């Protein structure tokens, strides 16, 4: 089975550490296009019992299949070391939380740096400003 053109984004932009924010964005794109992103935002339906109706069985089966595909996309798009650490996790959500714990602070740091750069730029151009919300009108 070959990767869809959209899924090739993940194979050419593997998570290597410093690119977590871009990797997560690419993963979200691929899972959205392939209609599997819901496994990251909705809990797994209860496992069907003998009394379950067909709709419940179908919902569970569909969610489990989407989660399996999402886990494969994640594993295929991370380094071998990360694969070893995450291959036995039960759900794609578990993988994402674990990866976010390792690399997620980079996203916050990047946002803080962007805001800091913006504020510094504003201060340079508006030296009359005395507060963070002051303007030069």
State pLDDT tens for residues 123-133.
555 555 455 55
Read off the tokens for 10: 């993940």
Res 75: pLDDT: 93
The verdict on 75 and 52 lying in the same domain is: yes
The verdict on 63 and 114 lying in the same domain is: no
Please give, one letter per residue, the 3-state secondary structure of the chain: CCCCCCCHHHHHCCECCCCHHHHHHHHHHHHHHCCCHHHHCCCCCCCCCCCCCHHHHHHHHHHHHHHHHHHHHHHHCECHHHHHHHCCCCCHHHHHHHHHHHHCHHHHHHHHHHHHHHHHHHHHHCCCCCCCCCCCC
State pLDDT tens for residues 77-131.
998 889 998 999 999 999 999 999 988 765 555 555 566 665 666 555 555 545 5
**Residue span of the structural domain in which 76 resides:** 8-103
The verdict on 61 and 118 lying in the same domain is: no
The verdict on 128 and 64 lying in the same domain is: no
Number of folded domains that form the chain: 2
Q: Closest Cα partner for 47 from 60, 38, 35?
A: 60
The verdict on 49 and 68 lying in the same domain is: yes
The verdict on 62 and 93 lying in the same domain is: yes
The verdict on 34 and 98 lying in the same domain is: yes
CA–CA separation, 87 and 109 (whole Å): 28
Residue 123 lies in a domain: yes
Question: Among 10-14, 58-62, 63-67, 86-90, which stretch is predicted with the lowest mean pLDDT?
Answer: 10-14
CA–CA separation, 95 and 40 (whole Å): 10
Residue 1 lies in a domain: no
The verdict on 113 and 64 lying in the same domain is: no
């Amino acid at each position: 089975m070959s990767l869809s053109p959209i899924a090739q984004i993940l194979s050419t932009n593997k998570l290597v550490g410093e690119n977590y924010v871009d990797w997560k964005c690419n993963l979200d794109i691929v899972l959205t296009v392939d209609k599997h992103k819901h496994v990251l935002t909705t809990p797994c339906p209860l496992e069907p019992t003998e009394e379950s109706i067909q709709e419940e069985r179908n919902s569970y089966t569909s969610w489990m299949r989407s989660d399996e595909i999402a886990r494969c996309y994640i594993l295929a798009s991370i380094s071998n070391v990360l694969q070893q650490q995450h291959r036995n996790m039960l759900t794609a959500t578990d993988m994402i939380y674990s990866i976010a714990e390792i690399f997620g602070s980079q996203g916050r740091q990047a946002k803080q740096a962007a805001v800091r750069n913006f504020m510094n730029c504003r201060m340079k151009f508006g030296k009359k400003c005395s507060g963070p919300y002051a303007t030069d009108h």
